[in-house]
Amino acid sequence: EVQLLESGGGLVQPGGSLRLSCSASGFTFSTNAMSWVRQAPGKGLEWVSTFSGRGGTTYSADSVKGRFTISRDNSRNTLYLQMTSLRVEDTAVYYCAKDQTVAGTYDYWGPGTLVLVSS
């Protein structure tokens, strides 16, 4: 059974940093693309960043480029999102999602972790 569990969310001041983690199990993590998708309170879904399964290629939305860094530790089956220079508009539930065979289709999601950026 595929399981994803995010952690690391919380309250942070504007300009601050936070690192999210996503622990994965139930599939071959090392060869699977993984992504972060966020949802601001009461709003829709926004793709944030993807780490490819092979080759180590990363992709990020323009809204977070230069501030957020996606990484992974295949030995720990864990995906990360390092967030710096946080803004109020980054407030959202952040979901870790497993990409299907083809990147861009999220067949399994974690329950999410809330990041609240506020002074």
Kindly state whether residue 89 participates in binding another protein, applying the rule CB under 8 A: no
Question: At 54, is the secondary structure helix, strand, or coil?
Answer: coil
CA–CA separation, 112 vs 95, rounded Å? 4
Kindly state whether residue 102 participates in binding another protein, applying the rule CB under 8 A: yes
CA angle 99, 58, 35 (to 5 degrees): 30
Among the listed residues 44, 55, 56, 66, the single contact to another protein using CB under 8 A:
44
* Region from 22-30, 57-65, 67-75, 78-86 binding another protein, contact rule CB under 8 A: 57-65
- Overall size of the chain counted in residues: 119
- Interacting residues with another protein (CB under 8 A): 37, 44-47, 59, 61-62, 95, 100, 102-112
